A = this chain, B = another copy of it.
Amino acid sequence: MEAAFKAINDATRREILQFLIQGPQNAGQIAKQFAMTKPSISHHLDLLKQAQLIDAVKKGQFIHYSLNKKGFESIHQWFQGFAQHFEFPKPKIRL
């Protein structure tokens, strides 16, 4: 949980997560999105992986990164503790 809060406390890492909503991408494709060197992106990916916000799967010479539910769940769980004290906008229907 500690790792998840740390991971999302950075604009670049949050943008990487946003980018991965589109679907899995390799490190090079991710790095291309940012005005930053590949080693820097590599480091951000490492922190996101530690937080279990993303998964990494090696496919030959490439590494495919994708969103990982686990890290999001740990944040969600923390958040739920407060959601009971506030009312947050809810969808009209439950799917």
Contacts and interface: CB of A to CB of B under 8 A. Distances in A.
Interface of A: 2, 5-6, 8-9, 11, 14, 17-18, 21, 67, 69, 72-73, 75-76, 78-79, 81-83, 85-86, 88, 90, 94
A82 B21 contact: yes
A78 B14 contact: yes
A28 to B, nearest CB: 23
Contact of A72 (B5, B67, B86): B86
A68 to B, nearest CB: 9
A9 B6 contact: yes
Stoichiometry (number of copies): 2
A47 to B, nearest CB: 12
A8 B7 CA distance: 11
Contact of A82 (B5, B17, B83): B17
